[in-house]
Structure 1
Amino acid sequence: MLLAVGTAGLLVGFTLWENPGADLPMLVAISLAVCLPLLLCRRLPVTAAVLASGVSLLGSVIPGWPGRLVAMAALCCAAYYRPLRLSSVVAVSLVWVIGYGILSSKMGPAADLIVLGVALPVVGYALRLQRDRAGQTIRLRLAEADRVAAEDRARLARDVHDSVGHHLTAIRLQAMAARRALGGTPALADRVLGTINDLSSSALSEVRALLTTLHAAPGLAEVEDLVHRLSGPNRRITVHGTAAPLPLAVDHAAYRVVQEALTNAVRHSDATEIDVCLQHDRHGMEVTVTDNGTGSAEVVEGQGIRGMRERVHVLGGTLSIGPRPPRGWSVRARIPA
């Protein structure tokens, strides 16, 4: 509503600048009438374009009144929000351009009128295509990141299963075979082999549970558990903000950034205060971890920092790490969603 009223005020001001003798009440009424349909651009874009175009035709008799610009914007919005009705938007645009040329006595060549009438909705349609293409690119990138993460977890699960699982199974089978061969004598050997059998069985169960968890990557919802594990009597970790519904890859990458930043702050500095800030909007997620430690003044990129940077960059995000005056460190990651 404020946008419509503000635009109407601009129309009145420009008209009075060009035509100081214009009828002010009629000028205000016609300016409001052409701007109010803009409130319907999202829900009823074609209707808004028809109304704005019709009012602008009526106001074209007022010398110096630039209401046609509002009609042009409404026509572009109609093609942007309703691409499936592009033909109807083009028809309205052509009628408006020709009608405006007739009423304002500024009729040009027919070819120019047709080009102008088609150009307005085409601009809106092109913007819509660009937005859809950008959205599709982002979705493909996120899907690719999810696929890569899933493949990494599956590969790790296979490696653990093939190596550790194989050896544990072999140990258990050998212990069972030895117990049967000894027939329970001597008692000490039987007891030792029984213990080996039980321990290997428990280890196999834990390995299988670990392989199951590899298919459920942690996200920001687990940050509180992470903070609880790393907090201590001389160290306070505070979380500001909450987790939000995010794509799996974004949620997992943000969690890993928090995890690595907290681990580095705990391991490599004497920080007593660590703040974790989670901010999200419709554009993405921003994670900030700051501390009051006194670590090295230079960033030494080990495996952990490289891993953070790769996770963020593969999703099209940015990562900044460095000292924070007057003391401490700051890790900030911005990941688009």
Structure 2
Amino acid sequence: MYAREGLLVLAATAALTAFAMLDGEPPRPGLPLLAGAGLAAALPLTLRARFPLTGALLSAAIALLGLVIPGWQGRLVTMVMFGAAAFRLPRRAWLVMSLSIGWTAGYGLLIPRSHAGLSVVTDLVIMGVAPVAVGHALRLHGERAAQAARLDHAEARRAIAEERAALARDVHDSVGHHLTAIRMQATATRRALRGRAPVADRALGTIAELSATALDEVRALLDSLRETPTGPDLEEIENLAKRLSTPRLPISVHRAGRSTPLPPAVGHTVYRVVQEALTNAARHSGASHVEVHVLCDRTAVTVSIADNGHGRAGAEGRGIRGMRERVDQHGGTLMAGPREDHGWRVEAVVPIGQGPGITASRGQPSSMAQDPT
């Protein structure tokens, strides 16, 4: 790191010295003076990461002092430093812009007329505005790229989770059912024989025992595939908001109500609804702020995700359908649509007392509603 910073300072010093030798009019200043001035102007570059604005102001002062040297271009380093300040301090962009323009105006007033070269307006645009604009644009580009990477990572994790859940359902519906049927048939046959055939009784007992062991192993596999969270996931919602927040799209989370742990399935559903809604807001809303409200009471969890962007009209997409299916499994409700003033809102009510599959079993005979696995 120190070697890289040293090479940067040496390169800037050499460039400033060469520019002064080429642009300066006879009689040219001595080489030691030019090299010393170039080194003084290049040293603030080492502050561009930790103290960018301080480095920019220090470089501006050195550039003004360097006006006494004919042909010296120390202001080039100052332009770079103000661009770095705009990149590192996105929330102070207007302050950086004001200081840059103020320094440029002072430089234009103090520069000798014989060395002015450019008009005041041109200097204001090139030296004052352009570096700050470029630095801020690079910052926005980096934020968009980082946010896109985080969203892609979240999408990949969600796709993996959904694939694992689908696999768990398939195993549950097929293998679990058949193992249970084998065990029940073996047990019923043993009871019918009532020990009259000892060899068959032992074989049937072995079949019942093996099927029970296999069923336990399948259940353990399903628990690992279903990715069931161990807590209410409210802390995970805050971590998710922190990961997706940017200076251009801050996300705030507000919690109210009881603080006791939620059933794992309920917390998992709430988390997935918030994840999908925040992903949609970051990708499509064009909003400048998103608010997440989570209210927990004795009977249900109500979660609301609202942004101040433009409403997203059109047919219900796969993301909303997925959220609705998750909430429907608990007998809850989900609403997604434009807000009255502007923006988009997703609101879900997930009952705590009901688990997945209860609504699907309503109106069915009790033997059909029971799950043997």
Instruction: Tell me: CA distance 1:178–1:157, structure 2 relative to 1, closer, same or farther (3 Å).
Output: same
Query: Is the contact between residue 101 and residue 107 of structure 1 (CA under 8 Å) also seen in structure 2?
Result: no
Name which of 180, 183, 195 aligns with 2:191: 180
Matched residue SS, 1:60: helix
Matches of 2:91 and 2:23 in 1, distance apart?
A: 40
What are the superposed Cα offsets for residues 296-327 of structure 1, whole Å, 9 maximum, x if unpaired? Answer: xxxxxxxxxxxxxxxxxxxxxxxxxxxxxxxx
1:15 equivalent to 2:16? Answer no
Partner of 2:58: 51
1:158 equivalent to 2:169? Answer yes
- After TM superposition, list the pairs within 5 Å mapping 1:180-199 onto structure 2: 180-199=191-210
- After TM superposition, list the pairs within 5 Å mapping 1:1-150 onto structure 2: 1-19=6-24, 21-104=28-111, 105=113, 106=116, 112=122, 114-116=124-126, 117-150=128-161
Partner of 2:357: none
Instruction: Tell me: CA distance 1:159–1:167, structure 2 relative to 1, closer, same or farther (3 Å).
Output: same
- Report how far residue 26 of structure 1 moved: 2.6
Aligned partner of 1:176: which letter?
T
Query: Is the contact between residue 23 and residue 71 of structure 2 (CA under 8 Å) also seen in structure 1?
Result: yes
What are the superposed Cα offsets for residues 144-173 of structure 1, whole Å, 9 maximum, x if unpaired? Answer: 111111111110111011100111011111
* Worse overlay, 108-117 or 40-49: 108-117
Matched residue SS, 2:81: helix
Aligned partner of 2:73: which letter?
P
1:200 equivalent to 2:208? Answer no
Matches of 1:36 and 1:114 in 2, distance apart?
A: 24
Aligned partner of 1:132: which letter?
E
- Report how far residue 42 of structure 1 moved: 0.4
Matched residue SS, 2:68: coil
Matches of 1:28 and 1:119 in 2, distance apart?
A: 27
Work out the number of aligned pairs and report it: 216
Q: Percent identity?
A: 50
Query: Is the contact between residue 176 and residue 197 of structure 1 (CA under 8 Å) also seen in structure 2?
Result: yes
Matches of 2:71 and 2:131 in 1, distance apart?
A: 22
Unaligned runs of 5+ in 1: 217-337
Matches of 1:114 and 1:28 in 2, distance apart?
A: 28
Provide the TM-score with structure 2 as the length reference.
0.54
Matches of 1:95 and 1:24 in 2, distance apart?
A: 31
Matches of 1:118 and 1:32 in 2, distance apart?
A: 25
Matches of 2:119 and 2:15 in 1, distance apart?
A: 31
Query: Is the contact between residue 76 and residue 120 of structure 1 (CA under 8 Å) also seen in structure 2?
Result: yes
Query: Is the contact between residue 90 and residue 118 of structure 1 (CA under 8 Å) also seen in structure 2?
Result: yes
- Report how far residue 83 of structure 1 moved: 0.8
Aligned partner of 2:35: which letter?
V
Provide the TM-score with structure 1 as the length reference.
0.60
Instruction: Tell me: CA distance 1:8–1:114, structure 2 relative to 1, closer, same or farther (3 Å).
Output: closer
Computed over aligned residues only, the root mean square deviation of the Cα atoms, in angstroms, reads: 2.0
